[in-house]
Amino acid sequence: MNRRDILKRLSLLPLAATSIGSAALAATREPLPETDPARTPGAKLPTAGNTPGEGHDAAAAHTPPAVTRDLFAELGVRRIINADVTMTFLSGSLMLPEVLEAINSTAHDFANMFELQDKVGAKIAELLKVEAAMVTSGAACAILLGTAACITGTDKDKIKNIPNLPGPRAEVIMQKSHRYLFDQAVTTTGARIVEVEGPDEMEKAFTPQTVMALFFNAAEKHSITHEDFLAIAGRHNIPTFLDAAADVPPVENLFKYQKMGFSLVTFSGGKMIRGPQSAGLLFGRKDLIEAAKLNHSPHEAPIGRPMKVNKEEMFGMYAALKSYLDRDHQKEWNGWLDRAKHIATRLAPLQTLKTEIWTNPGPANAFPNLIVDWDRQHFKITPKEVRQTLQDGNPSIVTGVHEDKLLIGVVLLRPDQVEIVVQRVKEVLTHAV
């Protein structure tokens, strides 16, 4: 999937959500068989025993314990296997055991939330080798809080009144090609976005109202490079914000952009860092993080009050980041490649089938996937139809389509789901001979 596909997909999400919704309805009429491994996630599939990539720590670590109370069944909610990339409507990513442990082990005591945010933030800042950090309710919240911080500073009156401040609206500079769905988090503060294209236009766009310049890292096109963007904003003494929400791996990106000089940087907690889905990281300049905290819960009145982060998510976000930083990333990567190769080997007996490992160049979702294609005269079904059939099936499996080929994402699969995906893809294709 290239960046354009990702953006297109972002804008298609509500549609995709709808089709999942109807699939879910269909499924309630057709209960899963008792033996279906998707129903009892702790159950071992007889064939999944020695799947390459399963021995790999991070992958093996997220095999869930057997459930005693099945809340999915109790509420009639379908379990979905995500053989694609992290998506908000599919609940982001799966938290690792150490994150769940952080949540469980801290749930039994109260804490002062001001102190917790300060202490967790200080620890995260230390881990990321940056001045200051905080936990937000996701990257979108971080964009809103960062913008609010640039507007209000520590001014109590402004914090109390934003987004209804007197006088002309604050202005945030963005490249025209960087405009995206998430910039509504900017305008929610009352600020307006001033679009520029190229360094010359940016140079001329600053006014007394300019408070911030926002850079969308995974945009398809940059008419201004990171370096020029920073230099120009720096000459005008305006803080810069970089949205890198989905831009790990590689782990180095957590350090790269703040080192380049961005005043504020955000990453989602609930994507490949595998923290709580509704958590995120905002880090950078100390004065701006302080101002962002003043605009956030647990303060009672500010604009960020409805974007509360709970105690367990704060501990969980810290645990997830620490685990992510401590991980052997080469080993994790090799585990993904092994898994993609394993699926390719299992599918190889299908006539005319071709597979290829494709690594998304990023910066968002920069990890390996398996691309599968076949002779449409032999298997008379298109990749889009396969995708839909898998999604509508039992269990529901979400795959992708990349350049009119089936994309099987490997990084979000639990070890015990690999074989289920193989079997279902085989079934759907062989039904179409």
Ligand X SMILES: *Cc1c(COP(=O)(O)O)cnc(C)c1O
Sole window of 43-51, 74-82, 229-237, 238-246 interacting with ligand X (rule: CB under 6 A): 238-246
Nearer to ligand X, 270 or 395 (CB): 270
Contacts (CB under 6 A) with ligand X, residues 153-182: 182
Pairing of strands 400-402, 280-284: unpaired
Nearer to ligand X, 145 or 218 (CB): 218
Closest approach of Cβ 304 to ligand X, in Å?
A: 13
Residue-wise over 355-380: b if at least 16 C-beta within 10 A, else e?
beebebebbbbbbbbbbbbbeeeebe
Nearer to ligand X, 134 or 364 (CB): 364
Contacts (CB under 6 A) with ligand X, residues 87-126: 88
First-to-last C-alpha distance (Å) of the chain: 27
Contacts (CB under 6 A) with ligand X, residues 29-58: none
Residue-wise over 11-32: b if at least 16 C-beta within 10 A, else e?
eeeeeeeeebeebeeebeeeeb
Residue-wise over 411-430: b if at least 16 C-beta within 10 A, else e?
bbbbbbbbbbbbebbeebbe
| 189 touches 209 (CB < 8 A) | no
Sole window of 47-55, 93-101, 242-250, 399-407 interacting with ligand X (rule: CB under 6 A): 242-250
Read off the tokens for 108.
């039994």
Q: Is 316 in the site for ligand X (CB under 6 A)?
A: no
Contacts (CB under 6 A) with ligand X, residues 346-385: 364
**Which of 120, 128, 145, 218 forms a contact with ligand X (CB under 6 A)?**
218
# residues contacting ligand X (CB under 6 A): 13
Nearer to ligand X, 137 or 399 (CB): 137
Q: Is 245 in the site for ligand X (CB under 6 A)?
A: yes
Pick from 253, 232, 227, 243: which is nearest to 186 by CA? 243
Q: Taking CA 244 as the corner, what is the angle to CA 90 and CA 117, rounded to the nearest 5 degrees?
A: 85
Contacts (CB under 6 A) with ligand X, residues 254-313: 268, 270, 280
Q: Which residues bind ligand X (CB under 6 A)?
A: 88, 138-140, 182, 218, 243, 245-246, 268, 270, 280, 364
